[in-house]
Chains A and B, each alone.
Chain A
């Protein structure tokens, strides 16, 4: 019922409703107001793979709403002893009211949702999907541009393994975005995703060249080339560092254009961009808190007041 595994689990109206709710919850996310909507509820934070922002922002979101958090990491738990995901999830089903799962294997979130009764939120499954990241990305874009309709969005870097771009591009084409996919040939967006985007009427262009699209973009979404996803280090070395966005590249950019990055960054996004009016990535990381608050409430069937007074 309340599962969020891919962006297909939300209609456009539901996306906008969650984003409206996230905006209402901003004072709670900042800690200015305590609103214990989820008091007595327990979130299972199941991270079978490393995470900084997703794990911490879910934990903050739950705690700011008065809920409790159980953390599981695969190191030192029964997962390291060879327990199946199914068995682990049976246990979580009994301990928590809702769970977020990050797992190195693709499909693990859907598999978990099939295995248990409690709502499951996909916190990233292999190179598959990362819909809660997409929701905070959409929140960031909408706050900057006032709308999600018809934007010009560039996605740059590792589009093959980068699950954030998989989920985000799916969502954006539904709002009529024009998407430019910039990647080296070996890290192109998977064919099934590109064909899905096109079958949804998406205006999608693929290229390996970044600079010519910058001036017409409303959003530049940079991603890290992820060393940990490469089966072979030689292949990683060939493409690492191929894109580097600096302040100088942005001289002809639209005034309202925003630069986003799911973080962590390595070399693809130079620190000189941080002080420009375009930089939005640290704000984006914070936006994980109100957005995930709204998603937790939605999955648990808890209504969010339209206006939260300070």
Chain B
């Protein structure tokens, strides 16, 4: 519980717990919250965790993450716990589920893939080959994606 004292409780918004240690900044980027015009965000990194050894925690004020955003989160923090906070209480717990295909969430990183032409209008599609360990493959060109670089290819 020591990490809970590091940041104050939020009135309304979303708390994301059990983010793999050191990945909170990637989560913010993935959720497109890494801008100066985003909502107030509190972040703790590398705090002790009974379950994970160390973990990161994010609290995003006045913003309830939707399912599409949770799907994005699944790419780097599939075991994170997400709580929607309303009036200082946990109003809902949301599960992160990785579906079978990601539509227009990340684009293929392979330089010779047909989807590299930004004028091609069909959606970017990435298949989930395996959830643990995470293996992603472009549905068009069949190339496996580098999971460590995936955050750079977020749409």
Contacts and interface: CB of A to CB of B under 8 A. Distances in A.
A107 B121 contact: no
A205 to B, nearest CB: 22
A112 to B, nearest CB: 9
Interface stretch (A16-24, A124-132, A244-252): A124-132
Nearest to A108: B114
A106 B113 contact: yes
B139 interface: yes
B122 A115 contact: yes
B114 A111 contact: yes
A161 B59 CA distance: 47
State which size class the interface on B falls in. Answer: 20 to 34
A106 B114 contact: yes
Q: Which of B113, B117, B122, B142 has the most CB of A within 10 A?
A: B142
A86 interface: yes
Interface string B83-125: 0000000000000000000000000101011111101111000
Nearest to A129: B142
B143 A111 contact: no
Contacts of A134: none
Given A84-B119, A114-B122, A192 B142 contact: yes
B142 A6 contact: yes
Interface string B22-36: 000000000000000
Contacts of A107: 108, 113-115, 138, 140-142
Given A105-B113, A107-B114, A86 B120 contact: yes
A122 B21 CA distance: 44
A126 B139 CA distance: 15
Chain A residues touching B, majority SS? mixed
Nearest to B118: A84
A245 to B, nearest CB: 29
A13 interface: no
B144 interface: yes
Contacts of A128: 141-142
A191 B129 CA distance: 14
A110 interface: yes
Contacts of A85: 114, 117, 120
Contacts of A191: 144
Nearest to A126: B112
Interface in B127-155: 137-144
B139 to A, nearest CB: 7
Contact of A192 (B117, B121, B143): B143
Nearest to A112: B114
Contacts of A106: 110, 112-114, 140-143
A125 B137 CA distance: 16
A110 B121 contact: no
A108 B138 CA distance: 12
5 closest cross-chain pairs (CB), A and B: A107-B140, A107-B141, A106-B141, A105-B114, A107-B114
Interface of A: 6, 84-86, 103-108, 110-111, 114-115, 125-129, 191-192
Given A86-B121, A104-B112, A105-B113, 20 more contacts: A6-B142, A84-B119, A84-B120, A84-B121, A103-B114, A105-B112, A105-B117, A106-B110, A106-B113, A106-B114, A107-B138, A107-B140, A108-B140, A115-B122, A126-B112, A128-B141, A128-B142, A129-B142, A192-B137, A192-B144
Interface of B: 108, 110, 112-117, 119-122, 137-144
